[in-house]
Each structure stands twice: as structure tokens, then as C-alpha cells.
Chains A and B, each alone.
Chain A
Amino acid sequence: EADIYQTPRYLVIGTGKKITLECSQTMGHDKMYWYQQDPGMELHLIHYSYGVNSTEKGDLSSESTVSRIRTEHFPLTLESARPSHTSQYLCASYSNPPGQGTLNYGYTFGSGTRLTVV
């Protein structure tokens, strides 16, 4: 049973529309991430957050924005969708217990949102 939820699972939308991809986790994780992945290809980090009111851009330039108003919620917004945004978007989170290192905890991933912009 997933502890991190992404909605919608699939989305087909027209060019120019504004869309928000939802990501919520129930594990209390402070660190959350958005990755973009074309089918069968590597994951590219587009946004991340260390906690509430903390957001950073990732290594891949993206026209999307994110917000982190609550620990459990990390939505991704595209103000004007384009065909080049067609991809899978994966949300992930993790947290290290107090006093434990930050390295040795794997991500928990959501099921992803497959976005098609026509």
C-alpha cells in the first residue's frame, strides 16, 4: 500500500492549459522531490524541498513551479502546458531519523503521473 500518492495517474491536456500535479505523503517525510522521466530513460530532478517553505530547482531546467506549504503536500504546477512537457512525472520523499545520517535512506516513490500535452 502506497504511502505517497500522486494524482492524476494519467492526464491528457491541450496546449496552453494550466495544470497541477498533486503529490501527498503520509509518512511525515521532510524531503520531497519531483523527477521527470521519459519512457525507459533516466530520471531528471526538476524540483526538491527540504521542508515547509523550502523549495529548490533541480538540475533539469523546467518551466514548472512547486510549493511546500504543508509537510505532506508538494504540488507541481505548469502554468502553460506544451507538447515538450509530455513525460512521466515522479514524486519521491524520504526522511532520516534524528541523529541519523542523510545518506542511507532510499526514496519512497509515488506511482507517477503520465502527462500528454496535445
Chain B
Amino acid sequence: AQKITQTQPGMFVQEKEAVTLDCTYDTSDQSYGLFWYKQPSSGEMIFLIYQGSYDEQNATEGRYSLNFQKARKSANLVISASQLGDSAMYFCAMREGTGGFKTIFGAGTRLFVKA
């Protein structure tokens, strides 16, 4: 069965520094997609970045990059040059190729950016 594990309940980072949020996953599928979402205190969920299981290069979107290590089944999110507005919950998620169109989410990591 598919599973997402985020082992860091909370993280602190100094403004302008980089931070890595960990995510490991478990699936028996060869084809799957990995996602990161941001949830500010207002509650809405914002899609940040996507990585496909067959993608050879790590995905990047502005200050966000995904460190994809397929053999280790990890998909860590790296935020460069942290900003105060990055303070939020971050969720790692996965959609399997053969499991229909469902996406499962990890427990999330709360990021605090310090001025």
C-alpha cells in the first residue's frame, strides 16, 4: 500500500537561508507522481512542485526544488532563500499510476522562518 512519511513535525530556519523538508514514500508502482503543497495559517492548500517517477532531473519551481532519490524513495523539498511568508505547513503527497486518481498526503511539516 502506498504511504508518505514526513518525520519532521516542525522546522526552524533563519530568513534568507535554505531549508530541506524530508519526505519518504512507499509504493509498489513503477509509475507515480510526487507533489508538495503549502498550507498557510489561512488554511488553503497551494500546489508547489511536482516530480514524476520517470523524470531523470530534479524538478525546480522558482525557489523550490525537489531532491528526488528514487532508490531511497525520498522526495525532499528544498526551499532556498527563505522568506517570512514561507512560514506554513508543508505536505508531501503521492499519486500512483495504477491506483486510480487518488492522492495521499503525509502528516506535514510546520516550517517557521525567523527574522
Contact = CB atoms under 8 A, between A and B. Distances in A.
Interface residues of A, number: 29
A118 B34 CA distance: 38
Given A40-B110, A41-B107, A102 B43 contact: no
A42 B101 contact: no
Contacts of A88: 43
A104 interface: yes
Contacts, number: 69
Listed residue (B32, B43, B110) with the most chain A CB atoms within 10 angstroms of its CB: B43
Interface residues on B, range: 20 to 34
B104 interface: yes
Nearest to A44: B105
Interface of A: 31, 33, 35, 40-43, 45, 48, 50, 56, 58-59, 88, 90, 92, 101-112, 114
Given A108-B47, A111-B44, A112-B43, 19 more contacts: A33-B102, A42-B106, A42-B108, A43-B91, A43-B105, A45-B103, A48-B101, A58-B102, A59-B102, A103-B33, A103-B52, A103-B97, A104-B50, A106-B35, A106-B47, A107-B45, A109-B44, A109-B45, A111-B42
